[in-house]
A and B are shown apart, each in its own frame.
Chain A
Amino acid sequence: MRKWLAIIFLIVLGFFMAKITSSFPFGEEKWGVSRHYVDKGIEENRGSNLVTSIVVNYRGFDTLGEVTVLFLAATALAFLLSTCRCRRRYERREASLIVKTASETLYPLLILFGAYIFIHGHLTPGGGFQGGTVIASAVMLMLLAHFTFHPNHRALSTVEGLAGITFVLIGFAGLIWGGSFLANNIIPLGQWNRLFSAGVIPLIYVAVGFKVGSELSGLITDMIKTTKEE
């Protein structure tokens, strides 16, 4: 009964959503405001990755919010789990030597890879979020492989906070020297398709990379470490 009712509801809802989407022919060219990003993006920001230009500059404020959301989630999770007497139902076994050794080898490489991704965020696919996630996956790998591995929580929090503050400070620098918050005209834009180009975009993305990396690492650590053996 409940099932069928739900299905009926959802079919109707799906009908309305289909009605909306069907009015936008799939794959057809329809530019809105993003025409400006495509046409003027390189000229205004010098970043080859237009998505990054949008994420960090045109809609940089969203990204600041996004970083905040992630920060909030990490904080909320740590906040909630700190009071949790969470127990796990299964027994944890020590990982095998192969896993341990391999993870130790991969760990710095993964971090390096993550850093590569966020440093090149304005040039290639990827950026701060993606790079940060890769870094966090390195930490997760270590956490899974080693019982004793424990990232320095204080350091993580500090990096996280400093990276966030850097983002906001870059924004304020834009406000003070560039006329508006997050303005990308306070340092030279450089040349197209070079590592040192696109003004503050790479700086922000590096900060975001640090932030996301440390936040997600902290988040994973919190989830794994607060759970005690039964």
Chain B
Amino acid sequence: MAFFVASILLILIGLYAVLVKRNIMKIVIGLSLMDTGVNVLIISLGFIRGRTAPIVNIKDLLVNTSSKVVDPLPQALVLTAIVIGVAVTAVALSIVMLMYSKKKTLEIEEYKELKW
């Protein structure tokens, strides 16, 4: 249960940064936090109390596996989600680097030319 709460909190904190912070770097950090929160949430959704990792490398696990391991699918999904999160963060950072190199500021106030 604590995992759920923590992950939702992480997501919300990340969103808070996106909603409130005026520094584009902090916004990117917020997005990253959000991602992490989602990943934790996914993982904890697959958790089954008292089970082991879904790696069947001992004979004992071979029989009646489904009563001994946690749900492997969320783990597979989270792997994908993590990589995608990394990718988005990388692109975001490069955009931020470019933005900074052009205007020498990270303040969101300076990036409001497109509007209305």
Bound: A41/B65 CA distance, A: 10
Cβ contacts under 8 Å, B57 to chain A: 48-49, 123-124, 193
Bound: A80/B92 CA distance, A: 11
Asked if A50 and B56 sit within 8 Å, CB to CB, the answer is yes
Asked if B73 and A54 sit within 8 Å, CB to CB, the answer is yes
Asked if A77 and B12 sit within 8 Å, CB to CB, the answer is no
Asked if B91 and A10 sit within 8 Å, CB to CB, the answer is no
Say yes or no: A73-B66 contact (C-beta < 8 A), given A2-B20, A26-B44, A34-B73.
no
CB distance from A15 to the nearest CB of B (A): 10
Cβ contacts under 8 Å, A80 to chain B: 91, 94-95, 97-98
Say yes or no: A87-B55 contact (C-beta < 8 A), given A34-B72, A73-B91.
no
CB distance from B107 to the nearest CB of A (A): 15
**The residue from B48, B87, B95, B97 contacting A69, defined by CB atoms under 8 A apart:** B87
Per the CB 8 Å criterion, the residue count for chain A at the interface is: 65
A-B contact pairs, 29 of them (CB 8 A): A6-B16, A6-B20, A21-B41, A26-B4, A26-B49, A27-B49, A34-B72, A35-B66, A38-B54, A38-B69, A48-B55, A48-B56, A48-B57, A49-B56, A50-B55, A51-B54, A51-B55, A51-B79, A54-B75, A54-B76, A55-B76, A59-B77, A70-B83, A73-B91, A76-B94, A80-B95, A80-B97, A129-B79, A192-B56
